[in-house]
Amino acid sequence: MKSITITIFLVFSICSFSFGQDLVYRPVNPAFGGDTFNYQWLLSSAEAQNKFTDDNNSSRDQRSDLEGFTENLNGQLLNQISRTLFNEQFGEDGLTEGTFNFGTLFVEIFPSGEGLVINILDTSTGDQSQVIIPN
């Protein structure tokens, strides 16, 4: 019994002489206030752990000047055709209230508290879209 009390006394005596310090959090990531020299190390570590591969070989970057010109020209022609159809359907005054059919597209235009609402329904697929033009 005497040895147990001496052991307990020694443990508590040694503990009273130990010193502690304040715990201070220092962020590693430079985005959260850490050292800016850690940036390159964090980036290379993240890239080394990245298991994803980019399967999307962007054909946009690999196309020739002729293909880019052709795509641009097609876009301008389609824009001009849609502008002509818009002017034929709605006139020079622009959008008016009512319902309109463009082939399989059913367009409904009406005013609301939020502004002018345009509902577009593709009757062949059932896809819908809504455009709100604020007042």
Q: What is the pLDDT of residue 60?
A: 55
Mean pLDDT over residues 10-34, rounded?
77
Per-residue pLDDT at 61: 63
Quick: pLDDT tens for 45-89: 999 999 887 766 555 567 788 888 889 888 898 888 888 877 777
**Which has the higher per-residue pLDDT, 40 or 56?**
40
pTM over 0.85: no
What does residue 117 show for φ and ψ, rounded to 5 degrees? Answer: -105, 130
The CA distance from 79 to 85, in Å, is: 10
* pLDDT tier at 31, thresholds 50, 70, 90: confident
Residue of 92, 118, 91 lying closest to 105 (CA atoms): 118
> What integer pLDDT is reported at residue 49 of this predicted model?
93
> Which residues fall within 8 angstroms of residue 118, CB to CB, at 6 or more apart?
95, 107, 108, 109, 130, 131, 132, 133
pLDDT tens profile 85-130: 777 776 777 777 888 887 888 889 898 888 888 899 998 898 999 9
Cα separation, 41 vs 29, whole angstroms: 10
Report how far residue 31's alpha carbon sits from residue 14's, in angstroms, rounded to the nearest whole number: 43
Examine the pLDDT at 1 and tell me if it is beyond 70. no
Could you say which DSSP state residue 50 is in? -
* Domains of the chain, residue spans: 20-49, 91-134
